[in-house]
Amino acid sequence: MDAMLPRMMEAAGVTEELKARDPMRWVGLMNTLKAQAEEIIQDELIYN
């Protein structure tokens, strides 16, 4: 999770500038990215 999330943030354009400019959008994107990362990890642990 710690290695995956920063790469996903970079790919999605989630930056500190976005956090300062539009905090609600940043929170929404972060929640989405965390949920995606958790799903990927759980899928790998359970099904592989």
Taking the chain (48 residues) in runs of 10, the rounded mean pLDDT of each run is 95 96 98 96 90
DSSP state of 5: H
pLDDT of residue 47: 84
Cα–Cα distance between 7 and 9 in angstroms, integer?
A: 5
Contacts with 26 (C-beta within 8 Å, 6 or more apart), sequence order: 14, 18, 19
Identify the residue whose tokens are 């790998």: 44
